[in-house]
Amino acid sequence: MGKNSFFEDVYEVVRLVPKGRVTTYGAIAEYLGTKGSSRMVGWALNKCNEVGPGDIPAHRVVNRNGLLTGKFHFRGRSMEDLLSDEGIKVKGNQIQNFEELLWYPSQELL
């Protein structure tokens, strides 16, 4: 994968997520046109942690429930800590006030 792939699109969108905001896998997938490929978004981020640019705020990407399902995949700093640093309250694996912090690419980027 040297060319632009589905991954790069995901990275780009995730990078556009404003600080202090979060988005969901489904929202990204829908924005990319493949609504059903929500899993693929997570798969892309999985690679992003190893081969990705490294500046991908994957901690801002959670499942539709606002649950930090992918926190286990983070190295070093935990998701809760990173999110908390941006002003996002996290209780356990659940983001507090999630719906208000939710950010849709198709909504903001038109």
Partner DNA sequence: GCAATGACTGGAG
Partner DNA sequence: CCTCCAGCCATTG
> Judged by CB under 7 A, does residue 5 bind DNA?
yes
Amino acid letter, 8: E
Kindly state whether residue 70 participates in binding DNA, applying the rule CB under 7 A.
Answer: yes
Over its C-alpha atoms, the chain yields an Rg (Å, rounded) of: 13
Binding residue for DNA (CB under 7 A) from 12, 21, 74, 102?
Answer: 74
| Site map 40..69 versus DNA, x via CB under 7 A | xxxx-xxxxx--------x--x-xxx---x
- Within 10 Å of residue 99's Cβ, how many Cβ atoms? 7
Q: In this structure, what token pair is assigned to residue 86?
A: 């941006």
Distance CA 29, CA 6 (A): 10
By CB under 7 A, which span of 32-40, 84-92, 97-105 interacts with DNA?
Answer: 32-40
The two beta strands, 90-91 and 94-95, are antiparallel
Residues lying near DNA in the complex (CB under 7 A) are found at 1, 5-7, 24-26, 34, 36-43, 45-49, 58, 61, 63-65, 69-70, 72-74
